[in-house]
Amino acid sequence: MSKVKLVATGDVLLHSRIYDISKKNGKYDFKDKMAPAQKLIGNGDVSIVNLESIVAGEELGLSSFPEFNNPIELAENLQEFGTNIVTNSNNHSLDYGEEGVLKSISNLESIGLDYVGSHKSKKDQQKFRIVEKNGIKIAVLSYTAVTLGKNPPKKKEYLLNRIVNGSTAGIRREIERLKKEENPDVVVVATHFGREYALIPGSAQVDIASSLSDAGADIILGHHPHVLQPAEWITNSRGKKTFVIYSLGNFYSGQKGLYRQIGGALSIDIEKNSDSKITITNPKIDLTYVAASKKENYQMHHFNKYIEKNPYIKTIHDTFDSLEVFSELNNRLTKWMPELEVR
């Protein structure tokens, strides 16, 4: 029996109010602000982070909402924490056009951090990303159903992997090619979809997840709503189960608002027996909280440790009972998966 712990986080997207107070001696550094991330990401044998901003760096000019470009040091910090691969297909991938994509990828390559979802060429796009640990091969794919009108030009569709009009036919073909060429044990599909700030997935998300399950996805990681949404097991038409979490929320960002400041890191065990049968078990969510103010230094906290010391959570909008917030989160996340451990 071999085993791998897979860790996946929500969105990492820095607003200027974070990076403006994170530069020392001419260099950006987010390690202290994101201190809990080091343990959460480092606990995984394979760790996936959703990087929602390009990291083209100061050369192209840093920027925040509505068009993001983050410092390269952010990616360096994520790699130092133990990130194996970042997913980078989303509605901000083309904020700086082709130039931004290429510069961001060049920066990722310069530090040796792999990426999937937004690519520099057709050849790069067609290269499958495989992470192998403990004799278990995990393939990672990434697509976005949301572009907000920022679409790649014709003949350069490789700049952004897309789900167009809810159709997963192209992903099905890619998974078929993937299984033929690489024969992975597990297929992970990160999907940027849904409606921002919705606490429960919409019908379009459910339909896409169901189609991806039928197409051969074993684990589906949802992003874009910027808040946590429930997890569930999907049983597809072939009788196989797929694990899906519809949104992992914000892992680290400058967004303000109670549930926008709470995100998490998913951990899930992948086991392979002597007959090469794969079992996916033991899903857990470690909640995180970003104290979103300059006074509190935009510090990330383990949510449960934070509420042990703070019976009330104060945001710019209101004050909330910490235990009531945790109870709501637990009920929401386990709505369709009672065995999911929320901590």
CATH code, 50: 3.60.21.10
Token duo for residue 16? 């200027």
Domains identified in the chain, total number: 1
CA 58 to CA 78: how far, in whole Å? Answer: 18
Q: What is the pLDDT of residue 226?
A: 99
CA dihedral 261→48→106→149, nearest 10 degrees, is -60
Chain-centre distance of CA 96, in angstroms? 21
Pick from 204, 260, 199: which is nearest to 65 by CA? 260
Token duo for residue 262? 């709470």
User: 222 is in which domain, residue-wise?
Assistant: 2-342
Tell me, yes or no, if the pTM score tops 0.95.
yes
CA 299 to CA 32: how far, in whole Å? Answer: 8
Pick from 239, 231, 226, 245: which is nearest to 188 by CA? 245
CA 231 to CA 333: how far, in whole Å? Answer: 6
Q: Tens of pLDDT along 46-102?
A: 999 999 999 999 999 999 999 999 999 999 999 999 999 999 999 999 999 999 999
CA dihedral 292→295→300→301, nearest 10 degrees, is -110
Q: Answer yes or no: are the C-beta atoms of 93 and 160 closer than 8 Å.
A: yes
Q: Tens of pLDDT along 165-208?
A: 999 999 999 999 999 999 999 999 999 999 999 999 999 999 99
DSSP state of 249: B
DSSP state of 136: E
Q: What is the pLDDT of residue 132?
A: 98
Helix axes 72-81, 97-111, angle to 10 degrees: 40
CA 94 to CA 9: how far, in whole Å? Answer: 22
Chain-centre distance of CA 257, in angstroms? 20
Q: In the chain, which residues have pLDDT < 70? A: none
Q: What is the pLDDT of residue 39?
A: 98
Burial class (CB in 10 A: 0-12, 13-18, 19+), 245: buried
